[in-house]
A and B are shown apart, each in its own frame.
Chain A
Amino acid sequence: MNDEAGGIQRRTRFQAICQSLRPDLLRFAFWLSRDRALAEDVVQESMLRAWKAQDSLLDESAAKPWLLTIVRREYARTFERKRFPTVDVDELIAKEEPMLAAAEEQDIADVRAAIMKLSDEYREPLVLQVLMGYSTAEIARELDLSGPAVLTRLFRARRQLRAACGEDTTLDPQE
C-alpha cells in the first residue's frame, strides 16, 4: 500500500516537473526546428519518452537537462525518420510570421527573423544560454563541444545577430 502511495506521489511529482518545464521546452523546440507544428510534435513525443523512462531520473534537480536532452534526441530522430527538403529561411519566416510577430513591437520581430536566419550551430548554443539559462560548461556538455568552441559559437552568433539587426558593430572584435 505504501509502495502504491509512494508511486503515485512520485508520478505526481514527475508530472509537476514536466508541467513546469514544458513552456521553455516548447520554446527551445521551436527555435531548434523553427517550426511551430514540428516543435509541438517533438515535445509531445519527448514527453512520452520521458514518461516511459521516468525511473531513470534519479535526481529531480537534473530534470531540466534530462528533458532537454530527450527533446534534442527526439528532434534528431525526426530527421532520421523523415528527410526534409532544403529549407528556404525566408519562407520559414513567412510561415511562422504570426508567431514571430505576435503582439510584439517591430524590433522584437526583427530580432526573431535574424535568429531564424542563424545557422543551427550558432542558434542552438545561443538559445541554450539565453533562453534556458545554461552555463558555458553545461552547453559544452549538452552539445558535446569544448568550452572554447561554445564561446566561439556564442561570440559569432551575437556578432551576426547584432549586425543583422542594425546595431553598431564598429567596436566588435574581428576574428
Chain B
Amino acid sequence: MMEHTDYRASILADPHSTDAELRTHREACAECREFTERLLRFESRLERALRVDIPAKAAEPLPMAAEPLPTAAEPLPTAAVLPFARKAGHDARAPRRWMAIAASVLLGIAIAGGVWLTLPQQSLAADVVAHMAGEPEAWQRTEAVADSELDQVLKDSKLRLKPDAGLVSYASSCAFRGHRVPHLVVQTPSGPVTVMVLVHESVRKPMRFDDEGYRGTIVPVPGHGSIAVLMRGVTVGSGEIERIAARVDDSIVWTR
C-alpha cells in the first residue's frame, strides 16, 4: 500500500488527481481521507482567490460588426504600425483607415481599464456569456448527440439526465474557470437552451442576466454548485427562462 507521506505529497501537488492508486489509498485510510477533505476545502478558497474580478470591458463584445475587417487582399496590420497609443518609447506611425478599423477591433479586445466589476457573481455571468462566444457552433446543431457522447460529458460531473430532459443537441466538456464543466444545448419548445453545470461555482440566490444578446439565469443547486441556463436572442421573458431552469434542475439526477 502507498505510504501516507507519498499520498499526501501527491495530493498536495494535484488535489483533483484521479489516479487510481491515490483513490485506493484514500478509501482505505481515514486520516488521509480527512486530510484530503481539508485540502479540498482550502482548494475551493484558492480557486476563488485566484478568480479576481475582471474589467467590465473585458466582457463586452468586440466592435467589429460596424465595419468590415480588412480582407485577404489587404495586408493584415502589423503591431509596429498600429495606431495604438502605446507607451512612450514606442514608435507610432501614421495610421491608415483599415488599420484604424483593425485597431478598433483590437481595442475591443484590449483592456479599457477603469471600471472593474465589484461583484463576483457579475463576473461569473460575464464569464458564462464570454464562453458562449467561443462556441457559436453549439447553437447550430439540432440533431441529438449520441448517448455515449452525452454520458462521457456528464460522468465526470457525477450526474445524468432523466429521459424526459429533452433532446440534447450539443454536449461538450469545456474548460471553465479552471474546471471541466458540462456545456449542453437542450432543444425546448421555446428554442435551444444552453445549460452549463457549474459544480464548482456557488451562488447565493438566482441571478438573472441579460447581456450581449444572451438572456439567462444562474440558479443555486444546494450541494452541487449552480446551473447556468441561457438563451440566445431575446425571444422569451426572464420568467420563462426561470421556468426552464427549474425544469432543467428537475431533470438532473446527481450520482454522488
Interface positions of B from 2 to 24, Cβ below 8 Å from A: 4-6, 8-10, 12-15
Chain-A contact segment, one of B160-168, B174-182, B201-209, B243-251 = B174-182
The reply to whether B13 and A22 form a contact with Cβ atoms under 8 Å apart is: no
- Residue B92, interface by CB 8 Å: no
**A52 engages B46 (CB within 8 Å):** no
Residues of chain A with a CB closer than 8 A to B68's CB: 8
What residues of A have a CB within 8 angstroms of the CB of B136 in the complex? 13, 16
Which of B110-118, B185-193, B221-229, B231-239 lies at the interface?
B110-118
From 131 to 175 in chain A, residues with beta carbon under 8 angstroms from any chain B beta carbon are 131-133, 136, 150-152, 154-155, 158-159, 161-162, 165, 167-168, 171-173
Q: A22-B58, A48-B106, A49-B79 are in contact. Are A172 and B12 (CB under 8 A)?
A: yes
Among B116-141, those with CB < 8 Å from A are: 116, 118-120, 123, 126-127, 130-136
Tell me the number of A-to-B contacts counted with CB atoms below 8 Å: 183
On whether the beta carbons of A11 and B69 are closer than 8 Å, the reply is yes
List CB contacts (< 8 Å) of B33-68 with chain A.
35, 38-39, 42-43, 45-55, 58-59, 61-62, 64, 68
Establish whether residues B126 and A48, one from each chain, have CB atoms under 8 Å apart when the complex forms.
no
B255 at interface by CB-CB < 8 Å: no
Q: Separation in Å of the B89 CB from the closest CB of chain A?
A: 8
Please judge, given known A-B contacts A3-B72, A30-B52, A154-B12, whether A43 and B35 are in contact too, CB under 8 Å. Answer: no
Q: Which of B50, B123, B133 is the one whose CB lies under 8 Å from A16? A: B133
Q: Are B106 and A51 in contact (CB under 8 A)?
A: yes
* Contact, CB under 8 Å: A108 / B12: no
Cα–Cα distance between A12 and B116 once the two chains are bound (Å): 26
User: Which residues of A, 1-46, contact B by the 8 Å Cβ criterion?
Assistant: 3-4, 7-8, 11-13, 15-24, 26-27, 30-31, 36-37, 40-41, 43-45
Taking beta carbons and an 8 Å cutoff, which residues of A are in contact with B?
3-4, 7-8, 11-13, 15-24, 26-27, 30-31, 36-37, 40-41, 43-45, 47-49, 51-52, 54, 64, 81, 99-100, 102-104, 107-108, 111-112, 115, 127, 129-133, 136, 150-152, 154-155, 158-159, 161-162, 165, 167-168, 171-173
Interchain residue pairs A-B with the least CB separation, the first 3: A20-B134, A111-B49, A40-B111
